[in-house]
Amino acid sequence: MVAPLLLEEKMRKEYDRNTKLTIGTSPVIISTEKENNNQTRKSIWIVNKSTAGQIVTVSIGESAEDGAGIPLYPGGSYGDVESEGYTATQKQLFAISDVAGALISIQERGYLE
């Protein structure tokens, strides 16, 4: 059974972000902090679409460092989805690749406050 939306959720405007990014060997912000930007993230999925073997490392809340964080091997993915009793992170997400030219795709959704 699907729970009915709360009144405040019905009144908020939903956003969807579908994009791809090329990641190099310097850390980059791949999703901005939501709490201080009048947004609420409900879910984010990141997929490493690289075809040349690049490993992408994702970091939550602090700048990415190669090999220190969530490793995404080619074809690998990371998802953070709000569910009953769990809230998706609202912090910035960063990425870095072990070799330049990595490609990731991002699907993110949430609400504008």
The predicted-structure confidence for 30-74, as pLDDT tens digits, reads as follows 999 998 888 999 999 999 999 999 999 999 999 999 989 999 999
15 domain-assigned:
no
Q: Indicate the number of domains in the chain.
A: 1
77 domain-assigned:
yes
63 domain-assigned:
yes
103 domain-assigned:
yes
Q: Are 4 and 98 in contact (CB under 8 A)?
A: no
CATH, residue 31: 2.60.290
34 domain-assigned:
yes
Q: How many residues does the chain have?
A: 113
Give me 54's structure tokens. 């690049």
Q: Percentage of the chain with pLDDT > 70?
A: 90
Task: Tell me the C-alpha distance between 25 and 95, whole Å.
Answer: 9
69 domain-assigned:
yes
HSE-up of 63 (CA within 13 Å, CB side)? Answer: 5
3 domain-assigned:
no
pTM, two decimal places: 0.86
Asked whether residue 10 carries a pLDDT value surpassing 60, the answer given is: no
Quote the domain boundaries for residue 30: 22-112
Residue 35: the pLDDT is: 82
Task: Tell me the C-alpha distance between 4 and 97, whole Å.
Answer: 41
Task: Tell me the C-alpha distance between 1 and 17, whole Å.
Answer: 27
6 domain-assigned:
no
